[in-house]
């Protein structure tokens, strides 16, 4: 099941997140247009900057939300992100939950050990993976909760990442959430992304 969860950065306005709000809004429009058309994500300095700032703004509220959920009984969760610095910040802030991180340049011989730790070690409760690196070829069925902190802007890739958890060996219903930054253009991007991803899910099913 795909859904969204809204996180509040605590900023009063988009001006506090983006140095140039108009450029950020233009970036969002370009991204939404590509998602709706099924095209590759657009590139450009202002698009990359907007994406990174959105990701960084989510770290604090995502950590607070997960701490509450762990205290409420959550056992394990898989987080997907785009940027290395977002992954590293999340790992630092969630250190009490034994996080493991999985990057594109993680040594091949180390990758299976990271997956095995998450799958088998009760103390390893958080897997944080880079979208393109951790979205294929691995099994993460020890969790049945996924949070796309920085959802991949290609809906098929996002669905494929979710399938790391929703695959043979999974005995629970899988919930895949997309973190949405309250009061920002991230809301519009995620709405378009969620619509497309649900369509892909329905086709796969």
Report the pLDDT averaged over residues 83-92: 97
With CA atoms as reference, report the closest residue to 166 among 126, 138, 185. Answer: 138
> Residue 27 corresponds to which tokens in the numbers above?
């970036």
pLDDT digits (tens, 9 = 90+) for 18-32: 999 999 999 999 999
- How many CB atoms sit inside 10 A of residue 49's CB? 16
Helix (H) or strand (E) holding 84: helix 84-93
- Position 57 scores a pLDDT of 95
Q: CA angle 77-6-127, nearest 5°?
A: 15
- Position 169 scores a pLDDT of 82
pLDDT higher than 70, residue 205 = no
pLDDT higher than 80, residue 201 = no
pLDDT higher than 90, residue 121 = yes
CB 75, CB 144: distance < 8 Å: no
Q: CA angle 53-30-12, nearest 5°?
A: 35
Average per-residue pLDDT in the chain? 92
User: Residue 36: helix, strand or coil by DSSP?
Assistant: helix
Report the pLDDT averaged over residues 71-99: 97
CB 79, CB 126: distance < 8 Å: yes
């Amino acid at each position: 099941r795909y859904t969204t969860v809204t996180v509040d950065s605590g900023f009063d306005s988009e001006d506090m997140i983006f140095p140039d709000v108009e450029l950020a809004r233009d970036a969002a429009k370009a991204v939404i247009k590509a998602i709706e058309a099924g095209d590759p994500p657009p590139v450009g300095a202002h698009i990359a900057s907007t994406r990174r700032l959105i990701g960084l703004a989510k770290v604090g509220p995502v950590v607070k939300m997960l701490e509450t959920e762990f205290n409420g009984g959550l056992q394990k969760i898989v987080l997907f992100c785009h940027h290395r610095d977002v992954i590293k910040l999340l790992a630092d802030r969630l250190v009490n939950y034994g996080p493991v991180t999985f990057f594109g340049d993680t040594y091949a011989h180390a990758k299976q050990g990271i997956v095995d730790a998450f799958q088998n070690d009760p103390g390893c409760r958080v897997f944080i993976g880079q979208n393109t690196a951790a979205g294929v070829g691995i099994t993460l069925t020890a969790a049945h909760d996924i949070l796309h902190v920085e959802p991949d802007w290609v809906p098929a890739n996002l669905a494929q990442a979710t399938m790391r958890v929703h695959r043979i060996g999974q005995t629970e219903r899988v919930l895949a959430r997309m973190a949405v930054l309250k009061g920002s253009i991230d809301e519009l991007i995620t709405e378009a992304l969620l619509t497309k991803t649900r369509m892909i899910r329905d086709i796969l099913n």
